[in-house]
Amino acid sequence: MVQKRPDRTLGGPHDVFWDYCAKGQLHIQQCQSCAGFSYPPMKSCEHCGGANMTWQPMSGYGHVVSHCRFEHDYYRGIFAIPHDTIMVELAEGPIMMSNPSGFCNDDLTPNMPVKVAFTACEDSAGVFQLPVFERV
């Protein structure tokens, strides 16, 4: 079942990120000058401004740093409330906002380990694979 979601940011490096997701892969930009990761996708390194960044595959493992549950309908019905969001620190260091899959925030334990999974979603630009996180 394809879930309806609010729109992604698209264009430039964002398209590369989502193209990897479409293949079931989580890749994050890494600077060739300072080795720092940048996320969300951007044109130059957020640490040193370097323009030479490559896409690095992530292990997909990480842990939950924090979380919150939306009970106000900011998205006007596009994404039903309540819905849970989690802040995940990947094993390699980058931090992503995401959703729990196969569990809810009430199930979380401190620094709970998680691993990436992909779920089919649709926004106004079409169907895409959204990276979410499952219990390890």
Partner 1 sequence: MTAQPLFKIPQPTTDMRGVAAIVGLGETDFHADYQAARAKAEDYEAPTTEGLATLAFERALADSGLKRSDIDGVSVNYLYGGPTAAETAQMLGLTPRHVIDKGGICAGPIPVASAAIAEGECDTIALIFSVATRSIGRKFGGQLYGDGAPSSYYYHHPWGWSSQAAHWALIWQHYRLTYGASEADLGAVAVQLRQNALNNTNAVMQTPLSIEKYLASRYVVNPLHLFDLCLVNDGAVCLILRRSDMAKDLPHVPVLVGGWGEARVTANKLHMLVRERLRPQFQAAGAQALAMAGVTLADVQHFEGYDASTIHLINHIEGHGFVAPGEGLEFCKSGGMARDGKLPVNMAGGILSGSYMHGWNHVAEVTRQLRHEAGARQVQDVQVSMFSLAQTDMVHPIVFTRGGQ
Contacts with partner 1, residue ranges (CB under 8 A): 5-9, 14, 36, 38, 40-42, 46-47, 65-72, 74-76, 78-79, 82-83, 85, 87, 89, 95, 97-99, 110, 121, 123, 128, 130, 132
Of 19 and 46, nearer to partner 1 (C-beta) is 46
**Smallest separation, CB 40 to partner 1 (Å):** 4
CA neighbor of 67 nearest in space, from 114, 102, 108, 103: 108
**Smallest separation, CB 52 to partner 1 (Å):** 17
In angstroms, rounded to a whole number, what is the distance separating the alpha carbons of residues 44 and 59?
Answer: 23
**Smallest separation, CB 48 to partner 1 (Å):** 9
Bridge partners of residue 116, in order along the sequence = 133
CA neighbor of 74 nearest in space, from 26, 126, 6, 130: 6
Of 97 and 136, nearer to partner 1 (C-beta) is 97
**Smallest separation, CB 49 to partner 1 (Å):** 9
Residue 38's CB is within 10 A of a number of other CB atoms, namely: 20
Tokens of 3: 């879930």
